[in-house]
């Protein structure tokens, strides 16, 4: 019954933002997973991601610290996949797929909320 009422605009904005960022992040993670097939590329990409993640972790904003921790973790997994190729590259692909699904669910809720406001 409550699905028929208009959704709060801040909640709608939050779902749209989470959906787009998660979907783009999932696609990016799947691309990174395919790029680190070579141990040399895994080390280079993992190092860059780890440095970017560290800059986010030391940020003053709480949201930047959370994002930085995730990017740092992906960089660490990418570096480790240079040595343990099989299981870790599959883990990155699985994480990318999970982010795509999460983003899709949030985008669906966003569209559903937009329809209830019309």
Residue ranges of domains in the chain:
10-108
**Token pair in block for residue 90:** 């599959």
pLDDT at 108: 94
Per-residue CA distances from 45 to 51, 72, 94 (Å): 10, 11, 18
Total H helices, total E strands in the chain: 4, 0
pLDDT at 107: 92
Residue 88 · residue 80 · CB < 8 Å: yes
Give, for all 118 residues of the chain, the pLDDT tens digit: 455 566 788 888 888 888 888 888 888 888 888 887 788 888 888 899 899 889 888 888 877 788 888 888 888 888 888 887 767 767 878 888 998 999 899 999 999 988 887 6
pLDDT at 1: 43
pLDDT at 5: 63
Query: CB neighbours of 97 closer than 8 A, spacing ≥ 6?
Result: 26, 30
**Alpha-carbon gap, residue 74 to 50, rounded angstroms:** 8
**Alpha-carbon gap, residue 30 to 19, rounded angstroms:** 17
Query: CB neighbours of 78 closer than 8 A, spacing ≥ 6?
Result: 32, 36, 42, 45, 46, 49, 92
């Amino acid at each position: 019954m409550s699905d028929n009422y208009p959704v709060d605009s801040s909640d709608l904005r939050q779902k749209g933002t989470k959906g787009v960022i998660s979907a783009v992040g999932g696609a990016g993670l799947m691309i990174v997973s395919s790029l680190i097939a070579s141990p040399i590329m895994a080390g280079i990409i993992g190092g860059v991601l780890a440095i970017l993640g560290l800059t986010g972790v030391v940020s003053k904003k709480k949201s930047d610290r959370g994002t930085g921790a995730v990017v740092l973790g992906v960089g660490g997994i990418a570096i480790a996949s240079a040595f343990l190729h099989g299981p870790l590259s599959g883990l990155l692909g699985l994480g990318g797929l999970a982010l795509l699904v999460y983003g899709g669910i949030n985008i669906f809720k966003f569209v559903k909320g937009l329809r209830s406001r019309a």
